[in-house]
Amino acid sequence: MSELHKFLFEGLPVRGMLVRVTEGWAEVLRRRAAGSPAGAYPLPVQNFLGEMVAAACLMQANIKFNGALILQIFGDGPVKLAVAEVQPDFALRATASLSAPVLPGASLSAMVNLNNLGKCAITLDPKERFPGQQPYQGVVPLFGDRREKLEQLSGVLEHYMLQSEQLDTRLVLAADGDVAAGLLIQRLPLEGAGNLGGEAARLANEDESGLNEHYNRIALLASSLKREELLTLDAQTILRRLFWQEDLRIFPAVSGEAVPHFACTCGRERVANMILGLGRDEAQSILAERGDVEVGCEFCGLQYRFDPIDVAALFLGAGDLPVSGGPVQ
Ligand SMILES: [Zn+2]
């Protein structure tokens, strides 16, 4: 069962989240294996993309924002692009595109940062935009403070959180063919710490190193979480094992509709707009070559087919989209 839990450490300016995506993640992989001409992901790509899915869920849960959180890695190695997108209701989708084979056991840098040009982008795309409003995007390179290549996605995102949000964050991520899971521990900014009890208010006036100490201890405990534990144990067991000495307050688990689940936001109308974006000449030349314009969704594998009549209608500016040639599985 997919699960997402939020918790905080009573009286301390530290909060956390734990996510385990099972069915939703399996669906991403099933569709890729069944629907993509490229076939199933090589193991290192699968596990990396799963970590991205878990991280995107944690980051979406970590913000109050009515829109999609999109985590993208622009690679300069065999993996050109990897995307994990999570909506406010935790509908998620993910895909990766490869331009060359990925060797078994390939490291993160061998996949996406071969020539030091790999980048990670986090985009917040609001559901309802004001006219002219652009989505917010933050971009970080795949390097640490000493220009060392980062070999863990968690390290890249910890870096991002510190740079862009000034938030100390510890992330533990893991994925395999069945589960995409992650643990996030974060130090709360003091001024925004309205949910803290008396002790934190007292500590707020003390030397900040006192607070660092609490955060550092909890972050260290989080780091001791093993990949196997994160992948195989349920959330309650993980939290109990890690933080049994801490005064942990676990909020009621996210349930029902808002549990992370697979869903794709693609649609025939979007593809129609894409074809319009190509321009009439380009669309005609595709029609001349192939007989129709067929566009597959890389996230869910649906194929959208536009025959010459559909395309002609598009460029005539027909108000209603043609109904023929709907998505075929
Ligand atoms: Zn789709």
* Token pair listed for 141: 């390179």
Residue 299 CA to ligand 1 centre (angstroms): 5
**Coil vs helix vs strand at 65:** coil
Q: From CA 53, how far away is CA 94, in angstroms rounded?
A: 7
Q: Tell me, what's the pLDDT at 31?
A: 94
**Coil vs helix vs strand at 76:** coil
Residue 96 CA to ligand 1 centre (angstroms): 13
Residue found under tokens 């989240």: 17
Residue 263 CA to ligand 1 centre (angstroms): 8
Backbone angles phi, psi at 196, to 5 degrees: -95, 150
Q: From CA 21, how far away is CA 182, in angstroms rounded?
A: 9
Residue 88 CA to ligand 1 centre (angstroms): 18
Give the max Cα distance, the chain.
74
Residue 327 CA to ligand 1 centre (angstroms): 10
Q: Tell me, what's the pLDDT at 176?
A: 97
pLDDT tens, per residue, the chain with 329 residues: 899 999 999 999 999 999 999 999 999 999 999 988 888 999 999 999 999 999 999 999 998 889 999 999 999 999 999 999 999 999 999 999 999 999 999 999 999 999 999 999 999 999 888 888 888 999 999 999 889 999 999 999 999 999 888 889 999 999 999 999 999 999 987 654 444 455 555 555 455 666 788 999 999 999 999 999 999 999 999 999 999 999 999 988 776 667 999 999 999 999 999 999 999 999 999 999 999 999 989 999 999 999 999 999 999 874 444 445 445 54
Residue 139 CA to ligand 1 centre (angstroms): 25
Q: Tell me, what's the pLDDT at 20?
A: 96
Backbone angles phi, psi at 80, to 5 degrees: -80, -40
Q: From CA 79, how far away is CA 97, in angstroms rounded?
A: 6
Q: Tell me, what's the pLDDT at 329?
A: 47
CATH 3.90.1280.10 residue spans of the chain = 268-315
CATH class of the domain defined by 268-315: alpha beta
CATH 3.55.30.10 residue spans of the chain = 3-262
Q: Which residues contact 35 (CB under 8 A, 6 or more apart)?
A: 296, 300, 301, 302, 329
Residue 270 CA to ligand 1 centre (angstroms): 10
117 within 8 A of 84, measured Cβ to Cβ: no
Residue 219 CA to ligand 1 centre (angstroms): 37
CATH class of the domain defined by 3-262: alpha beta
Q: From CA 250, how far away is CA 252, in angstroms rounded?
A: 7
Q: From CA 8, how far away is CA 95, in angstroms rounded?
A: 32
Q: Tell me, what's the pLDDT at 41?
A: 96
Residue 42 CA to ligand 1 centre (angstroms): 21
pTM of the model: 0.87
Residue 236 CA to ligand 1 centre (angstroms): 34
